[in-house]
Amino acid sequence: MKTHGDGAAERLGAILREAHHRIEAAESGRISQADMAARLGVSQRAYVDYLHGRGPAGARVAFDILAMLGDDEAAALLRRWREGKIGNGKDRNGD
């Protein structure tokens, strides 16, 4: 069921998905959704909902996942967020 503000949740889901993939690349291995949820201190179901834009991830979750990235990676994601290049169909465009 869609609610007011779903666009923001979908955009946040897109940045969380991209961050998850970048963390996997940096660690040279796959990270399951369950493992990432545990790292973030949330349930797997909540994390999957965040990834799919079905629930508002709290600021702590967003900051925690960004903190797992290197400074340049986090800055690149935030730049793409600011420029509107995440969560609007342009998710796969690189930096």
Distance between CA atoms of residues 40 and 82, nearest Å: 24
Distance between CA atoms of residues 66 and 41, nearest Å: 14
- Could you give the angle at the alpha carbon of 84 between the alpha carbons of 47 and 67, nearest 5°? 45
pLDDT at 89: 58
pLDDT at 1: 40
Higher pLDDT, 32 or 13: 32
Biggest CA-to-CA distance, the chain: 38
pLDDT greater than 70 at residue 90: no
When the pLDDT of each residue in the chain is averaged and rounded to a whole number, the result is: 83
Let me know: does 91 contact 14? Beta carbons within 8 Å: yes
